[in-house]
Amino acid sequence: MSQTSEISQDKPQPLPLHELLSRLLKSEKTSHRHPLPIMGTLQDLNQAWERRPLLDFINASLRGIGQVGFANNPITGLLITLAVFLQSPWVALMLVVGVVVATWTAYLMGLDRASIRNGIFGLNGALVGLALGTFGTWGNGTGNLLWVLAVIICAALSTVLMQYIGLWMAVYLGLPSMGVPFHIVTYSFLVIALYVPQPFFELGAPPPFPNPAESLDGVSILSGLITGIGQIFFSGSLVSALLIIIALALCSPMGALIAVLGSVIGLVTGMVLGVNLNVLYAGLWGYNSALTAIAIGGIFYTPNRRSLLFASGGAFGAALIAWLLSLVMTPLKLPILALSFHLGTYACFVILQRSLSSLVPVAPYSIASPEEHRFRYLTAKEVISAFRRQLQGAMLGQHHKVLFDKAPQELKGDLRYIFDAIDRDQSGSLSLEELSYHFQQAGHSISDDELNFVFSSMDVDNSGEIGFEEFGELLLRHRRLMSRLNEFATYFIPIDKNKNGVVELDEMNVVLASVDQPPLSEDEVTFLQQRIGGKELNWEGFLELLLVI
C-alpha cells in the first residue's frame, strides 16, 4: 500500500474530499464532557488566563502540584496543598516554595509556555519541596531558612535539568523524563547532607510509627491502601490521603480508581514479600505502584483491557523493585522516593514498544486525562470497526446506505433542502453542471479536478447523476466523521512511527489490532490498492476511504 507514484509538480492537487464536503454541510463538533465543570483538565481556563500574568502563574503552579499525581487541574493542586497543610504547615510551605521557584525559573528561561502553563516544569519543583520539607522535619529543617534556600536552589536546578535531560530522553530514548530531575537533585542533596561534614543540614531518623503493628488487621490494611495514595505527596495522614484521593478524582475519576488499583497491588505484593507491617500500613508500599498503574493504564496509554492488565503487571513490578531497592538503600540511609515507579514504568515502556505495538501510546503533545484518552480510543474504534464492516460489502459491489436509512426525518429534511437547492431543474438528481453552479453561487472557488472528485465520490453507482440517497449518505458519513475528526486523528497519529505521513500496510494492521480487528487479508489489500490507484495512502487518502467505503 506504499507504492511510490509520480506526482505532477505543475498541476495542483485537488483538496481532500473531507474539506470539499465541508463546503456543503457543516459538521457538529462533539467532545467528552465531565459531570462537573471543574472536572477534567480545564484547558479553557488556560486560555482565559493566558493574558493575565498573575492568574496565569498561579494556575501553572497549582497544575504543577497536581501533575505529581498526573492530574492537570489547578483545583486539584489547591486541594492537595490543603491536604499537605493539614498534616504539616511547614511541608506545605516548602511545597509552595518549590513549585513557585521551578515554574518561575521556566518562565525566566523562556521555555515553552504551553508546557509551563500545564505544570510540566512545576512538578519536579513541587516534589523537591515535599521531599526536603518532609526530611527537614526529621532534623533541623522546621523553620530553618537554610532549608528554604536549599529548596529554592534545588527546585530551580530541577527545571534546568527538566529542560535538557527531558529533551535528551525524548529524542534519544523516546521516554518521558517525569520525575528524573527531582531524583537527581534530591539524592545529591541527601548524599551531601549525610556524608559531607557540614553544620547546616541535619537529617534525623524518621519518626516512630504511632501504633506499632504486630499482626494483619483489616482496618489497618484499608488505611494502608488509602495512605498509599497520600504518600505520592509524602502524606501519611489518613485525612490528608482521603482529601488527596478526592482531589485526584476531581481531575479524573478513572485515574483515581486506577491509582487505588495500583495501591492495592503494591500493598498485597508487600504482604507476600514479608515487608514490615508498619511500613505497609503507613502506605509506603503503595505509592510507587499507584503511580505506575496511572502512568501505564491511563496517561501514556489509553485505558482499555490490555493497558490495565499491563498496568497491573507494572504495579506489581514497581513493588518488587522497591523491595530490591530497599536492600540497597536502607544500609545507605537513603529513601527509595519514586525510584521504583520510574524503573518499573520505563521497563513497561520498553516492553510495550518492542512486543505489543497494537497498544497505541498517547501522543506526548496530546496527553490529557484518562477519560479523554478513552474517548479518543472509543471514537477510533467506532470509525475503524464501521470501515471494516463495510469493506467486505464494497468489495462485492454492495453500497449500503447505513446512515441515511437510520437518519431521523428532521435531518433528512435538512438534506432534502440542500439537495433541492442544488437541483435547479428539479429532476430529482444532480448533474455535474448543477454541482458546479452551486459551488460558484456559494462563493467557493473549486477546480475542475476537485469538482470531478466530489461528483465521482457521490455518484456511487456510476450513473452520471447523483441521487438524493447517494447525496445524503455521503454527507452524513462526512458529518459523522468530521464531528470527531480531532479525537480520531489524535489517536491515529502515533501509529505513523516513521513520521513519513504515509499509512503503510503494517501501520494499517496496527490500527486494526489496536481496536481488536484482525489484519487485512490479501484480497482486502488488493482492493484498497486498486481503490487508491496504486498511490501511497496518506492521511487525506485514508479519510477518503473512510468516507466512500
For residues 232 and 154, state if they share a domain.
no
Is the pLDDT reported for residue 471 higher than 80? no
- What does the DSSP assignment read for 30-45? -----SSTT-S--HHH
For residues 335 and 413, state if they share a domain.
no
Residue 382's pLDDT band (cuts 50, 70, 90): confident
CB atoms within 10 A of CB 506: 13
CA dist 170 and 364 (Å) reads: 10
* Amino acid present at 61: S
- 101-111 pLDDT, tens digit each: 999 999 999 99
Q: How far is CA 364 from CA 177, 491, 522, in A?
A: 12, 11, 34
Grid coordinates representing 126 are 513541587
- Of 355, 384, 413, the one marking the end of a domain is 355
Asked whether residue 254 is assigned to any structural domain, the reply reads: yes
For residues 400 and 542, state if they share a domain.
yes
For residues 275 and 340, state if they share a domain.
yes
Range of the domain at 147: 38-203
Q: Where residue 427 sits, what CATH number does that domain have?
A: 1.10.238.10
CA dist 456 and 438 (Å) reads: 16
CA dist 307 and 301 (Å) reads: 7
- Of 179, 203, 227, the one marking the end of a domain is 203
- Of 203, 236, 257, the one marking the end of a domain is 203
SS3 of residue 209 by DSSP: coil
CA 420 from chain centre, in angstroms, equals 45
Asked whether residue 267 is assigned to any structural domain, the reply reads: yes
For residues 223 and 198, state if they share a domain.
no
CA dist 238 and 261 (Å) reads: 18
For residues 406 and 336, state if they share a domain.
no
For residues 101 and 154, state if they share a domain.
yes
Average pLDDT of span 116-134: 96
Asked whether residue 88 is assigned to any structural domain, the reply reads: yes
Q: How far is CA 423 from CA 27, 413, 414, in A?
A: 22, 15, 14
Grid coordinates representing 406 are 437510520
- 477-499 pLDDT, tens digit each: 766 666 666 777 777 777 766 66
- 387-444 pLDDT, tens digit each: 777 777 677 666 666 677 777 788 778 778 788 888 888 888 888 888 788 777 766 6
Q: In the prediction, which pLDDT does 34 show?
A: 73
Asked whether residue 8 is assigned to any structural domain, the reply reads: no
Residue with cell 449500503: 400
The proportion of the chain whose per-residue pLDDT surpasses 70, expressed as a percent, equals 83
Asked whether residue 351 is assigned to any structural domain, the reply reads: yes
CA dist 254 and 260 (Å) reads: 10
Average pLDDT of span 42-46: 89
Average pLDDT of span 4-18: 42
CA dist 541 and 298 (Å) reads: 31
| Backbone φ, ψ for residue 361 (5° rounding) | -75, 160
Global confidence as pTM: 0.81
Q: Where residue 268 sits, what CATH number does that domain have?
A: 1.10.3430.10
Taking the CA atoms of 422, 424, 430 and 436 in sequence, report the sign of the dihedral they define.
negative
For residues 434 and 538, state if they share a domain.
yes
Asked whether residue 243 is assigned to any structural domain, the reply reads: yes
Is the pLDDT reported for residue 15 higher than 60? no
Select from 280, 289, 283 the least CA-distant residue to 215.
Answer: 280
Domains of the chain: total: 3
- What does the DSSP assignment read for 8-29? -SSSPPPPPHHHHHTTTSPPPP
Residue 530's pLDDT band (cuts 50, 70, 90): confident
Asked whether residue 366 is assigned to any structural domain, the reply reads: no
For residues 296 and 167, state if they share a domain.
no
Q: Cβ distance 201 to 140 under 8 Å?
A: yes
Grid coordinates representing 184 are 537527581
Q: In the prediction, which pLDDT does 541 show?
A: 67
Which residues in 227-305 belong to E strands, given as ranges? Answer: none
Grid coordinates representing 436 are 458546479
Q: How far is CA 297 from CA 264, 440, 512, in A?
A: 15, 51, 20
For residues 430 and 490, state if they share a domain.
yes
Identify the DSSP state of 169. I
For residues 253 and 123, state if they share a domain.
no
Asked whether residue 21 is assigned to any structural domain, the reply reads: no
Is the pLDDT reported for residue 17 higher than 60? no
SS3 of residue 100 by DSSP: helix
For residues 494 and 382, state if they share a domain.
yes
